[in-house]
Amino acid sequence: MSTHQIAAERVMLRGPKVQDSNGKVVTPRPFDLEGVLSEFVGLTEEARADFLGIFAHGLTVEIRVALLDHPVPDAEADRAYQVNEWLHQLTSCLTPKQRRGADGEAELIRNIAVSSFRYGLEAAVGRAVATAAGNTIAPAKKHAAGSVD
């Protein structure tokens, strides 16, 4: 599937698999990236920075996973290189003078998600986006609704 075909369709990612108390591993249903991004752009600048930081952290975990087995096959080294490139882009836009604004940051996340299919990294990106969204968007909605924890 080409990047152009993926970009023309809704990008569907999955969150991380979870093991329940009975030992059963549950694979979450796919989520629509555009839904997450539409909420992302409405976050405060601080919450968007938190999202990007959590997303970047999730990708660093993927580099560790790719490089755990030695020797590292060329395909895994290529995947780790690509994740590192995305990390560079994400962490660069966290620098106050290089902030892209909500729409620019959402576009960066979208571009990473779309290109993840080319490298077989859609599961890694899905986990990282789901973790970031779960830690920033859901709490922001609770706070906006006036919930008290």
| pLDDT in the model for residue 4 | 43
* Full pLDDT tens readout for the chain, 149 residues: 444 444 446 777 777 777 888 888 888 778 788 888 999 999 999 999 999 999 898 888 888 877 776 788 888 888 888 998 999 899 888 887 778 899 999 999 999 999 999 999 998 999 999 999 999 987 766 656 554 44
Whether pTM > 0.75 for this model: the answer is no
| pLDDT in the model for residue 42 | 94
Domain spans, the chain: 3-142
42-81 burial: b if 16+ Cβ within 10 Å, else e:
ebeeebbbbbbbbbbebbeebbeebeeeeeeeeebeebbe
**Own/partner pairs, 68-73, CB within 8 angstroms, 24+ separation:** none
107-141 burial: b if 16+ Cβ within 10 Å, else e:
ebbbebbbbbbebebbebbbbbbbbbbebbbeebe
Question: Residue 69 phi/psi, 5° resolution?
Answer: -85, 130
Structure tokens at 75: 């395909």
Give the C-alpha separation, 119 to 78, whole Å. 8
DSSP code of residue 96: G
The residue whose two tokens read 């755990």 is: 68
